[in-house]
Chains A and B, each alone.
Chain A
Amino acid sequence: MNTKVLATLLVGLVVRIEIASFAGHPVDMGLFTYSARLYYETGRVDTLFPSLPLVYYVQLLFYSLYAVLRDAGFADRAFLYHPAYMVEGLILRIPSILADLGIFYVLLKFTGKLRYAAFYLLNPFTIYLTGAWGMYDSLMMLPLVTGFVLVARNQMRFASVSFVISGLFKLFGFIPFGLMMIENLFQKRFKEFAVQLGIGTGLTALTFAPYFQSGLQDFYVGFVLRFLGGSGALSRSYNIIAAFSGLRFTGSSPFAWVAGAAVIGAFVINRRRRSASSLKSLLLWSIVAAVSLNIFTQSQPQWLSWLIPLSILYAFITQRDGLANFSYFFGVTSTFLSITLLQTSTYLVTGVPSALFSAFEGLPDALIVNAVTVLGMLVMLLGYVFLKPTKFKVEVVVLTALVYLQAYFWFTIMRIIVV
């Protein structure tokens, strides 16, 4: 292996392992740890696991290594106020770390550019999510990115499988899968459509098989309806509409349906009018869908990470170098915003929130400042995607800083809106 590739890979791996050994989101890691321990201590499969079952299965598989260690008498240590032990927390994150390395490999093989692969692996936002937070978005992104590469190689059925697996980790994977199905319908490739439907239904049924005996009612109400905007719980939302209006959506906001219809409509029109490749269209409208979800639905901060590998792939196939560079800046800024405005700098490190840097953290109406700055960056990203290819310039950094400072001034100092 090329020394430079190896060096990049090692740095990406080491920073993740180093951070994962002591940091973690106390709530999310607590949930994952509880469910894994419930299985290995009591034998119960946690059908109330807070995410899709495939994530749970993967975590259980890797946790078996930890169970072997504990059986062998290994005494793990707690670190500060974290609910998981240190090695336990690290092992729970191994699947996501491996997925990050996998994405690096796929991007490197597909683009042939170490720079593009490094923009993903060494992006502070992906390091932050996998290494520090303990999120599993990379488990979804690995089959997602692989799916696009398979589309580029015209291996559509394998791409469908890949997208479905991606969707079974996080529902976003079903978006390119759905767009592929729509395209097959419009192209009157009914056999392919039926095959895709079979793949999707079969893999989904297989994943949910253990849930059938305990009933799917809890899953339907607690998960499916939540993401279709039909949940009964009024919970906090990070998007700009909720931030400004103080609305508490029941799961996704109703605007998600409008955004979804708009993306599908635009994709169909785009495919009919242009002779662009399937890959380009699928990527383009998947990016637009990810942006729409971040603007209009409950938009968890980790969802911003989906745009990073998608932008890198789109930048490569359309020669938009500026977009690839912007995706790295986007990740750096998203990390800064998430740490300072949504969590505080100590939260993932010590397990308790505390504003060490009072100029940036613990601000009143910080959610609005985050929502405005993120919206500004999403608009810039769409500019890089839709307008003619342009270089990434320092002006973009200045513009983003201006948006942040303006939001900071009006919403946390002047407090023109109090939600």
Chain B
Amino acid sequence: MKLRLYSIVIIAILTLVVPAVFLRGTLPQQTATEIDGLAQFASMQGVSLGPLIWSEGFNNASTWTLSGSTPAILQVNNSLTLKVVLQYKTTAQTLSVYHTVSLPLDQGPIVTLRLQVSGGVSYGVRFWGVTASNKPFSAWHEGSSLQHRPGRGTSETIQANLVSESSIPNPTLSLAGAKITRMAIYIEAVPFISGTFSMRLFSLKANSVLITKANSNEVGGNFTALVADLGPAIATQKLFQVFVGLDIQGSSDLSYVPYFTTGASVAAQGYTYITKVATTYELALLSPRQVNSSPLFSGNVHSSSLVVSARTGEISFFRLNSISIRFFSTQTAQSANLDPGTSRELVYYFFVFLFVIPVVMVVLVVKVFKDEH
């Protein structure tokens, strides 16, 4: 009897092992694929904030223009203060303050604003520019973290990479000779909001970007971000995961977030990582599901890039060891349009098998089938 049982087990295992060995790599479908992200690795650069190239002194009110039908008071005196009285309305209300600037894009300007906006309203920052041939373009887009930010009533610092902001809505834009000429800060309120709200802009400045280029897969120095150019932009519709093997060292307070970008948009994002005691090596997992922010410094708009952005502290050494880019093609059922009623019925069906039948059977076992005692 025992021998027969062993024979059955061995036959069962062989039944599974034999096809597992011989069918390896034979399925014709290509729904799960993996490519080596370093195969077309082009270059890497360490990036940090450079010298100041422009700073607003808030000493000339005439350079600021108010736009909107809502009553408001604009004061410019070492800082900018905008007070607005919103009437009770059934439509959304907006008020903008425009300012003329001149920031050449080939310097890669990073604009930093420190401001405070009342709670209950939202705000945002927008830019416009002209190309080398004086053709105007918009340098903002919906979906950016610079738009429709909720006012918190506390001082906040926000930064904008004008090259990224320009490139996302204008992928073919040539940076040579192009410049940002105008910016706006706006306050907006959803319908039925009324009362007095304010925005105070304490500082507004622009810095250039310092870039340290490296042709190998490692770079040393002091950086706030690392950008690795992985070659021509990869289609990311089926992107599943990106695994990045990296060696990283930096200040004791270093924490960083890895991003996989295609063009100027973020295709996958990793967790926030900190350096470890045990090893400088990290295997970072990036996923499209985790995208909730974008890096200040981004890669070439025509390439796919890995961006490792320091959230706190500075990076002093970085080596890119491996990148596995995984694609997974899943097929959603054609009947996937679900209304709440069908969902509810499915859930009830699920609960019957999960709770009702097992509990009833256990009650039967405990109360009726007592013979095992």
A interface list, Cβ under 8 A from B: 4, 7-8, 11-12, 15, 18-19, 22-23, 27, 30, 33-35, 37-44, 48, 60-65, 67-68, 70-71, 77-81, 83, 85, 112-115, 118-119, 122-124, 127-128, 131-132, 217-218, 220-222, 225, 230-235, 248, 250, 328, 332, 335, 345-346, 348-350, 352, 354, 356
Question: Do residues A44 and B354 form an inter-chain contact, with CB atoms below 8 A?
Answer: no
Question: Do residues A78 and B34 form an inter-chain contact, with CB atoms below 8 A?
Answer: no
CA–CA, A18 to B346, complex, Å?
Answer: 12
Task: List residues of chain A with CB within 8 A of the CB of B20.
Answer: 60-61, 63-64, 67
Nearest residue (CB) in B for A38 is B32
Cross-interface CB contact of A67 among B19, B33, B276, cutoff 8 Å? B19
Question: Do residues A335 and B271 form an inter-chain contact, with CB atoms below 8 A?
Answer: no
Question: Do residues B278 and A332 form an inter-chain contact, with CB atoms below 8 A?
Answer: no
Question: Do residues A71 and B23 form an inter-chain contact, with CB atoms below 8 A?
Answer: yes
Cβ < 8 Å to A, chain B residues 153-202: none
Task: Please judge, given known A-B contacts A122-B358, A124-B355, A346-B347, whether A62 and B16 are in contact too, CB under 8 Å.
Answer: yes
Shortest distance between the CB of B353 and any CB in chain A (Å): 5
Question: Do residues A41 and B30 form an inter-chain contact, with CB atoms below 8 A?
Answer: yes
Shortest distance between the CB of A173 and any CB in chain B (Å): 21
Task: List residues of chain A with CB within 8 A of the CB of B373.
Answer: 113
Asked whether B85 is an interface residue with its Cβ less than 8 Å from the other chain, the reply is no
Nearest residue (CB) in A for B274 is A232
Question: Do residues A335 and B355 form an inter-chain contact, with CB atoms below 8 A?
Answer: yes
* Chain A, interface SS category: helix
Question: Do residues A41 and B338 form an inter-chain contact, with CB atoms below 8 A?
Answer: no
Cβ < 8 Å to A, chain B residues 14-45: 16-20, 23-34
Cross-interface CB contact of A15 among B29, B30, B275, B353, cutoff 8 Å? B353
Nearest residue (CB) in B for A116 is B372
Per the CB 8 Å criterion, the residue count for chain B at the interface is 69
CA–CA, A42 to B33, complex, Å?
Answer: 7
B interface list, Cβ under 8 A from A: 13, 16-20, 23-34, 240, 243, 245, 255, 270-279, 281-285, 289, 324, 326, 328, 330-333, 335-336, 338, 340, 343-344, 346-347, 350-351, 353-355, 357-359, 361-362, 365-366, 369, 371-373
Question: Do residues B272 and A234 form an inter-chain contact, with CB atoms below 8 A?
Answer: yes
Task: List residues of chain A with CB within 8 A of the CB of B285.
Answer: 222, 233
Task: List residues of chain B with CB within 8 A of the CB of A83.
Answer: 328, 330
Task: List residues of chain B with CB within 8 A of the CB of A22.
Answer: 346
Interface hub of A113, A248, A349 (most chain B Cβ within 10 A): A349
Give 23 pairs: A residue, B residue, CB < 8 Å, sorted on A.
A15-B353, A19-B354, A37-B328, A38-B32, A44-B34, A64-B18, A64-B23, A65-B16, A68-B23, A70-B27, A78-B330, A83-B330, A118-B361, A218-B245, A225-B278, A233-B273, A250-B274, A250-B276, A335-B354, A345-B350, A346-B347, A348-B350, A354-B340
Nearest residue (CB) in A for B324 is A48
Question: Do residues A225 and B350 form an inter-chain contact, with CB atoms below 8 A?
Answer: no
Q: Beyond A68-B19, A233-B272: 20 further Cβ-contacts under 8 Å?
A: A7-B361, A11-B361, A30-B330, A34-B32, A34-B328, A41-B33, A43-B24, A44-B34, A48-B243, A64-B18, A64-B20, A65-B19, A67-B19, A78-B333, A122-B359, A131-B354, A218-B243, A221-B282, A234-B272, A354-B340
Task: Please judge, given known A-B contacts A4-B369, A221-B282, whether A118 and B277 are in contact too, CB under 8 Å.
Answer: no
Question: Do residues A114 and B369 form an inter-chain contact, with CB atoms below 8 A?
Answer: yes
Cross-interface CB contact of A39 among B24, B270, B278, B369, cutoff 8 Å? B24
CA–CA, A118 to B240, complex, Å?
Answer: 40
